Amino acid sequence: MRLPLLENLLGTVGPEQQKRLHQCLRRLSRPAWLGSIRRTTPLSDRYGYDRGSPVDRYYIESFLEDHRQDIHGRVLEVKDSGYIDRYGMNIERRDVLDIDPTNQHATIVADLAAADAIPSNSFDCFVLTQALQFIYDTRAAIFHIHRILRSGGVLLATVPAVGRVVPQDGLTDYWRFTAISCSALFGQVFGGEHIIVRSYGNVLTSIAFLIGMAREELSRGELDANDEYFPLIITVRAVKQQ
């Protein structure tokens, strides 16, 4: 959009006024239509579950689909075995970890940051989705993850880069992550050459997730567009070498 009157004014005003006119031109040429998201409360306070399925699950499920060959043998998951059941191949045994002893799905009750009671070299794969943000001592948790994996065992982890604070009773939401922080945290334990860290999402999907839109309200092209400067989630594939 060209606005000759404003452009003609640029040569007749001082630097500060020129700056403001340039900003005005930018706003007019690229208008921001906020529509239904111009609000101070979310469309959904359930991550979009009441509208469809959450946006972040699209990326989590894509990541697990891409690495389903790693989900085999004896596999550990947190809370329940939903992703093992859905993506596992040649599963010998499913285990469920939870700090909550009332969880009837749990076969192992432990705090992952103080999991000395879990035997070393026990698992071929650990599916750990959207859980590390609830563990204050993240380094200790990663140490135990590495310890309880067998040689050649694989961790498939996802962590949030953005997201609402979780209001659930019994959970304390401590952290959000970046690709650089994940590379440092997991690389210190597994070795940098044995991890693959990737970000998923873009500014639109991050906004959609925060406001409570469902992934069904976005197109495949919008979901698949990746912008490393605006990640929604970070994924980590880490392999134990000893």
State the CATH number of the domain containing residue 122: 3.40.50.150
User: Are residues 129 and 21 located together in one domain of the fold?
Assistant: no
Say if residue 5 is exposed, middle or buried (CB neighbours under 10 Å; 0-12, 13-18, 19+).
exposed
| Phi-psi label, residue 166: left if phi above 0, alpha if psi -120 to 50, beta otherwise | beta
Nearest CA among 197, 217, 199 for reference residue 207: 217
- What's the confidence (pLDDT) of residue 118? 97
User: Are residues 98 and 190 located together in one domain of the fold?
Assistant: yes
The pLDDT tens digits of the residues spanning 173-203 come to 999 999 999 999 999 999 999 999 999 999 9
Give the pLDDT band of residue 3 (cuts 50, 70, 90). Answer: low
User: Are residues 122 and 200 located together in one domain of the fold?
Assistant: yes
User: Are residues 185 and 234 located together in one domain of the fold?
Assistant: yes
User: Are residues 16 and 64 located together in one domain of the fold?
Assistant: no
Q: Which residue has the higher pLDDT, 29 or 148?
A: 148
**For 33-53, what is the mean pLDDT?**
88
Predicted confidence (pLDDT) at residue 212 exceeds the cutoff of 90? yes
What's at 222, amino acid-wise? E
| Pick from 4-8, 43-47, 157-161, 235-239: least confident | 4-8
Nearest CA among 52, 75, 59, 87 for reference residue 198: 59
User: Are residues 59 and 172 located together in one domain of the fold?
Assistant: yes
Predicted confidence (pLDDT) at residue 31 exceeds the cutoff of 80? no
Question: Does residue 75 sit in helix, strand or coil?
Answer: strand
Q: Where are the beta strands (DSSP E) in the chain?
A: 73-78, 91-98, 108-109, 123-129, 149-160, 195-200, 233-239
User: Are residues 21 and 134 located together in one domain of the fold?
Assistant: no
User: Are residues 24 and 94 located together in one domain of the fold?
Assistant: no
**For 215-238, what is the mean pLDDT?**
97
Q: Which residue has the higher pLDDT, 219 or 33?
A: 219
Q: What percent of the chain is predicted at pLDDT more than 90?
A: 78
Instruction: Count other C-beta atoms under 10 Å from residue 96's C-beta.
Output: 20
Give the pLDDT band of residue 1 (cuts 50, 70, 90). Answer: very low
User: Are residues 21 and 73 located together in one domain of the fold?
Assistant: no
**For 217-232, what is the mean pLDDT?**
97
Alpha carbon 37 to its chain's center? 22
d(CA 103, CA 136): 21
pTM: 0.89
Q: Which two tokens stand for residue 164?
A: 């609402």
User: Are residues 120 and 231 located together in one domain of the fold?
Assistant: yes
Q: Which domain holds residue 11?
A: 1-31
Predicted confidence (pLDDT) at residue 104 exceeds the cutoff of 50? yes
User: Are residues 14 and 80 located together in one domain of the fold?
Assistant: no
**For 53-57, what is the mean pLDDT?**
96
Domains identified in the chain, total number: 2
User: Are residues 26 and 43 located together in one domain of the fold?
Assistant: no
d(CA 235, CA 215): 19
What's at 65, amino acid-wise? E
The pLDDT tens digits of the residues spanning 148-174 come to 999 999 999 999 999 999 877 677 999
| Pick from 20-34, 96-110, 123-137, 163-177: least confident | 20-34
97 φ, ψ (degrees, to nearest 5):
-105, 135
Contact indicator for 119, 148 with CB cutoff of 8 Å: yes
